[in-house]
Amino acid sequence: MQRRNEWLSTKRYQKALLGIVAGAMALATVQVEAQTLDQNFDGKDHYRFVIVPKAVAPWFDSVNAGAEQAARMIEAQSGAEVEIVYSAPQESQVAIQNQILEQAIATRPDGIAVDPLDANANRAILQEALDQGIKVVIFDSPAPEGLEVSSVGNDFCEQAQIASQRLVELLGEEGQVAIMMGTPTAPNHAIRVRCHQAVFSEYPDIEVVATGINNDSIVQAQNQAATIMQAHPDLDGWVVSEASGPIGIGQALKEGGKVGEVQLVGLERLPEMLQLVEEGVADSTVANRPEAQGYWTVQALWQQVLDVAAPDYMDTGVDLITRDNLGDFQ
């Protein structure tokens, strides 16, 4: 079993690295195309793109920062003014997100980028935008089935597999684990949960004893984690499905005196997450690249406005961050 475990781990890490390389190649192709856009097309002198994340959360602030970087690049390249309108729901509720999308459509922007909270519930409003000639790009999520739109993200299953495999190794292939699920209707969160569960099912001595729902909220994650660890005092480890969960879990571990007793493998690279790794509260984190997602989402919208085909899917890659390489990400 140990040799099999090592093989699986090595294979997954290698595949993650290959994904990064492939993503970089795809992005390089987009960049080359973008560099020739102003030479081949007569664009407008003003563009307005609306960014609609799942909720107010630090990870999405990084997406917005990448979107603003892309806007400045387009301005320098084309001479046009590019306006980024960042409209985040105060809570992870699809009704609120759809209301924001409806309001955005009414303002007739050039393009809308959205991280769907529920592919089924968001589909009709996104189709309405397309029907009105507004360009749509999905980020941090697969594109909803049936919508002909580009998406920018990463391999969410691979990201989860790396994290859950890491936890299995830390626990010596046995123990009780819990999964913080984020927002269960969100496509990327749901994919990660399924792939966590698939990895754990490969090990007969690993038992998933609890799941929590934190809806992209650090506070909810902390409360859920504290409750679960009280109900399961023999819990050995945590994995998560989005960026806020591990920060809340880390706080619960500190307050409950569980640091070193309960292992945590997080997701993403928010400063609070990196601090947890540095302090030894978390072993590691498997992080995607939100700034890159924001940047290439706006690039894709701009290309589509100029009637230049954007790739159907752009993978911006992931990084496994441990205390050994933490300095590269701080």
DSSP 261-284: TBEEEEES--HHHHHHHHHTSSSE
DSSP secondary structure of 203-226: -TTEEEEEEE--TT-HHHHHHHHH
Tokens encoding 24: 């970089």
| Predicted local distance difference test score (pLDDT) of residue 58 | 92
d(CA 235, CA 175) in angstroms, rounded, equals 7
State both tokens at 115. Answer: 């991280």
276 φ/ψ angles, rounded to the nearest 5 degrees: -60, -40
Helix axes 58-78, 290-305, angle to 10 degrees: 40
Task: Return phi, psi of residue 203, to 5°.
Answer: -120, 110
Record the tokens describing residue 268, joined without a space: 């993403």
Which amino acid belongs to residue 181?
A: M
Write b or e for each residue in 140-161: b if 16 or more Cβ atoms lie within 10 A of its Cβ, otherwise e: bbebbeebebbbbbbbbbbbbb
Both structure tokens of 319: 């990084």
From first to last of its 330 residues, the chain has per-residue pLDDT tens of: 333 333 233 333 333 333 433 444 344 334 434 444 444 455 689 999 999 999 999 999 999 999 999 999 999 999 999 999 999 999 999 999 999 999 999 999 999 999 999 999 999 999 999 999 999 999 999 999 999 999 999 999 999 999 999 999 999 999 999 999 999 999 999 999 999 999 999 999 999 999 999 999 999 999 999 999 999 999 999 999 999 999 999 999 999 999 999 999 999 999 999 999 999 999 999 999 999 999 999 999 999 999 999 999 999 999 999 999 999 998
pLDDT at 55: 95
* CATH code assigned to 15-154+290-317: 3.40.50.2300
> Are both 15-154+290-317 and 156-287 of the same fold?
yes
**Can you give the pLDDT at residue 44?**
87
Segments making up each domain of the chain, as ranges: 15-154+290-317, 156-287
Collapse the DSSP code of 81 into the 3-class scheme (helix H, G, I; strand E, B; otherwise coil) and give the result: strand
Report the pLDDT value the prediction gives residue 290, as an integer from 0 to 100: 97
Is residue 196 classed exposed, middle or buried when 0-12, 13-18 and 19+ CB atoms within 10 A define those classes?
A: buried
User: Residue 186 and residue 163: Cα distance in Å, rounded?
Assistant: 19
Answer for the pair 113, 86: CB distance below 8 angstroms, yes or no. no
CA 119 – CA 104 distance, rounded (Å): 18
Q: What is the CATH number of domain 156-287?
A: 3.40.50.2300
Start-to-end CA distance of the chain, whole Å, equals 36
Neighbours of 279 (CB within 10 A): 12
